[in-house]
Amino acid sequence: MSNFGAMDLSGLANKTTPPAGTAISSWLVPGDEPTLRRYLTLSETTPVLMLVSDQSEASVRLRAAVLEVLEASQGRFAGIDIDITANPQLAQAVAVEKAPAMLAILAGQPAPLFQGEATKEQLLSVLGQVLQLAGEKNITQTVSIQGGSAPEKPLAPEHLAAVAAIDTGDLPEAKRLYDKLIVEYPNDSDATAGLAQVNLMLRLAAKDQTGPLGTLFFEADQLLIAGNTRDSLALLLDRFEIETDARDQIRDRLLEMFILIGDSDQDVLQARRRLATLLF
């Protein structure tokens, strides 16, 4: 990933405010100039993610990761995909010369996120910062898919409170709420996943970790957010294999990593098998 510059698009935006509960056609819509105008207006109330892509394999992979994150965001983002080949003028307007690239649009203003590829984990880390900034600007309205199938089960009030704490940047409060949820509902997988994400965000915000395993855990986190999940898990497993005094702590961190990466990920499946071998 690399950063890049962006330019002011406020002149393109319509000045009318979109209605509450805006419906969109899909989580990541193909973008032309009229669509971009609508999404600039939408960005007054809902954070918009702008993907600039082409037909390269890198763009295909990034588009899939962005779509997965958008689908899981429960309408907290709307996405627009600008084809740099079909609409080079729109890419030029945000100073993008090469695809793929990602921007966030808040209140009609594009902000660069990165240029090049990014993993799902890197996306989640970056978008957590976008949500925090959007919360500060009161750009927190959600969107929904127009004419979609049966709506997803709404989050319980306790979950909504935790999500709101994340959106406002109050990570300690979000952690407290998720800890409370897990005590009350031990089988709540959403709470477990939410806590794992908040713990990672807290560690990244602290920039260092203390204790005898601080260096190990810090290096594992850095590998994780860089998208190198295999080496991140291997680093922890290698230490687990020779550790005599702190195995429980390493195992707990591994289990949290499994949740963050996803149980169906091949690196996680392989790491689970190795962990089971080391345990038994």
- Residue reference for tokens 């190198």: 228
Share of the chain above pLDDT 90, in %: 39
Share of the chain above pLDDT 70, in %: 89
Where exactly are the structural domains of the chain?
Answer: 23-145, 157-279
Q: Looking at the predicted structure, is the pLDDT value of residue 38 above 60?
A: yes
- Taking residues 104-119, report their average pLDDT: 91
Q: What is the pLDDT of residues 153-191, one digit of tens each?
A: 556 778 888 888 888 889 999 999 999 998 888 888 888
pLDDT band with cut points at 50, 70 and 90 for residue 260: confident
Fold match flag (23-145 vs 157-279): no
Contact status, residue 165 vs residue 173, Cβ threshold 8 Å = yes
Which architecture characterizes domain 157-279 according to CATH?
Alpha Horseshoe (1.25)
Q: Looking at the predicted structure, is the pLDDT value of residue 16 above 60?
A: no
Contact status, residue 87 vs residue 53, Cβ threshold 8 Å = no
Peptide bond before 100: cis, by omega within 30 degrees of 0?
yes
Helix, strand or coil for residue 198?
A: helix
Structure confidence at residue 53 (pLDDT): 95
Q: What is the pLDDT of residues 217-252, one digit of tens each?
A: 999 998 888 788 999 999 999 999 998 888 999 999
- Residue reference for tokens 């590998």: 223
| DSSP conformation letters of 143-174 | -EETT-SSPPPPPPHHHHHHHHHHHTT-HHHH
Task: Report the sign of the C-alpha dihedral through residues 195, 80, 114, 227, in that order.
Answer: positive
Structure tokens that stand for 225 in this block: 């957010």
- Taking residues 56-84, report their average pLDDT: 90
Structure confidence at residue 204 (pLDDT): 84
Structure tokens that stand for 162 in this block: 């935790």
CATH H superfamily, domain 23-145: Glutaredoxin (3.40.30.10)
d(CA 11, CA 99): 24
